[in-house]
Amino acid sequence: GDIRRTAPSRSPQPGKPPVPGSAITTTLKNEVDALIEMEKILGKGYSPKVIKYEKVPAAGDDVYRLTMEKVGDKNLWQAFVDGTIDSDMWQDIGNQVVRMVQKLGKNGFAHGDIKADNFMFALEGGKPRVWIIDPVGFPKNFPKPSLEKYIKKDMDDVVEMLRTIHKAIEGGYFPPL
């Protein structure tokens, strides 16, 4: 696709995204690989698009600067806490989350860090939209019994996350920011 591995470059404004609508982070190479794999499995629009990545000079062999599409206004936890999410939206959000994690699992990919902070949220035309971010990810050559255990744990974590937030919404409990 459009993913480009580039040589280290000097930016006139360090830390400022070089592409409008993008975000920059520093991460490890295995996390870059996991994001790219997750994007391939889920298809366009369910995880941030990796625009480019480059090795960070003098930071170690495994440290990369990642430029990716900026998605969502806040994470799912923040949207819950500030009251953006109401009970009418919850079923749609839950369906989106479950579909994404199930599709990853069916394709042999375990996210490895399912929590509300790792789903970005926005309202698009008054409807909730969710993207999955920040995978730990497990390589395809990970031992199958262990990988299956992590895929099951991802689903268990989704159920627990959704159940907890739903109970809080229904009960009117919104923890402080």
Per-residue pLDDT averaged across 133-151, rounded?
81
Query: Does residue 11 have a pLDDT over 50?
Result: no
Question: What pLDDT score was predicted for residue 121?
Answer: 95
Contacts of 79 (CB under 8 A, 6+ apart): 73, 85, 121
Query: Does residue 132 have a pLDDT over 90?
Result: yes
Residue 127: pLDDT band with limits 50, 70, 90: very high
Contacts of 42 (CB under 8 A, 6+ apart): 100, 103, 104, 132
The structure tokens 């390589």 sit at 139
Query: Does residue 3 have a pLDDT over 50?
Result: no
Q: What is the rounded distance in angstroms from the CA atom of residue 138 to the CA atom of residue 51?
A: 22
Question: What pLDDT score was predicted for residue 139?
Answer: 63
Residue 120: pLDDT band with limits 50, 70, 90: very high
Residue 114: pLDDT band with limits 50, 70, 90: very high
Kindly give the interhelix angle for 87-106 and 144-171, rounded to the nearest 10 degrees.
Answer: 180
The DSSP result for 28-73, as a single string, is: EHHHHHHHHHHHHHH-TTSSPPEEEEEEPTTS-TTEEEEEEE---S
Average pLDDT, the chain: 81
Query: Does residue 141 have a pLDDT over 90?
Result: no
pLDDT in tens, 62-110: 888 888 888 998 999 999 888 888 888 988 999 999 999 999 999 989 9
Query: Does residue 22 have a pLDDT over 90?
Result: no
pLDDT in tens, 25-60: 888 888 888 889 999 999 888 988 889 899 888 777
Question: What pLDDT score was predicted for residue 177?
Answer: 45
